[in-house]
Chain A
Amino acid sequence: KQEVTQIPAALSVPEGENLVLNCSFTDSAIYNLQWFRQDPGKGLTSLLLIQSSQREQTSGRLNASLDKSSGRSTLYIAASQPGDSATYLCAVMGSWGKFQFGAGTQVVVTP
């Protein structure tokens, strides 16, 4: 059974620092990995999708890497801003066609 772990569970940084969020998964037979952002009481917003054949994906200040063989992905957010405060979740999709989520990392960026 696929298990997805996100470390740390919570993170607080001053504005301007870079954020590093980690996601690990136990079964490397995945089709893709997706990073989401969730604001309190809201749904999930897709940030980045990395296909299993890719090593990384970038969008603006966000960069996500994927090392499928070691079961790891890292989300980097450069020059953090207070508006980046949210919970970040990673999800993996395997051949079973469903998304398995980590518990998320709660991020607070202080001005």
Chain B
Amino acid sequence: SQTIHQWPATLVQPVGSPLSLECTVEGTSNPNLYWYRQAAGRGLQLLFYSVGIGQISSEVPQNLSASRPQDRQFILSSKKLLLSDSGFYLCAWSTTGANTEAFFGQGTRLTVV
């Protein structure tokens, strides 16, 4: 069966520090991968979307970047965090084709102080 791992679960970082969140998927190949952010009391905002290694689509201009160095690995990064980067970050993967279904990791609570 497929599983998705996302870490760390919580993170407190000072303003101006770098960020690296990692997500890996097991039990499937060539998945679509996603990074979402969920601000308090708000819906999920799609940040990045990847259909393959090295292929990244950015949905929202911002202080963050994403990379996909391996087929089932997706990394969210920042060189210098801002206070506004605080939030709940969720990684997801989906199958491809007409029956596409999305599966989510447990999320990372990021607090920038």
Q: How many residues belonging to B are interface residues under a CB distance threshold of 8 Å?
A: 26
* A97 CB-CB contact with B under 8 Å: yes
Separation of A97 and B102 alpha carbons in the complex (Å): 11
Known: A43-B105, A99-B34. A32 touches B43 (CB 8 A): no
* A102 CB-CB contact with B under 8 Å: yes
- Taking the nearest CB of chain B, how far is it from the CB of A33, in angstroms? 11
A-B contact count, CB below 8 Å?
A: 61
- Inter-subunit contact A49/B98 (CB<8 Å): no
- Inter-subunit contact B102/A91 (CB<8 Å): yes
* B104 CB-CB contact with A under 8 Å: yes
* B100 CB-CB contact with A under 8 Å: yes
Known: A42-B107, A43-B105. A98 touches B46 (CB 8 A): yes
- Inter-subunit contact B99/A49 (CB<8 Å): yes
Chain A, interface SS category: strand
- Inter-subunit contact B44/A43 (CB<8 Å): no
Separation of A102 and B44 alpha carbons in the complex (Å): 8
The residue from A51, A99, A100 contacting B99, defined by CB atoms under 8 A apart: A51
The size bracket of the interface on A is: 20 to 34
Chain B, interface SS category: strand
- B46 contacts across to A, CB distance below 8 A: 98-100
Separation of A95 and B109 alpha carbons in the complex (Å): 31
- Inter-subunit contact B102/A103 (CB<8 Å): no
Would you give the 0/1 interface string for B34-50, flagging 1 where the beta carbon is closer than 8 Å to chain A? Answer: 10100000111010010
Would you give the 0/1 interface string for A84-111, flagging 1 where the beta carbon is closer than 8 Å to chain B? Answer: 0000010101000111111110000000
Separation of A61 and B51 alpha carbons in the complex (Å): 35
- B99 contacts across to A, CB distance below 8 A: 32, 49, 51
- B100 contacts across to A, CB distance below 8 A: 31-32, 93, 97
- B49 contacts across to A, CB distance below 8 A: 97-98
- Interface positions of B (Cβ within 8 A of A): 6, 32, 34, 36, 42-44, 46, 49, 51, 59, 88, 90, 92, 94, 98-107, 109
Q: List 8 A-B contacts (CB under 8 A).
A: A41-B109, A46-B101, A98-B34, A98-B46, A99-B46, A99-B94, A101-B44, A103-B42
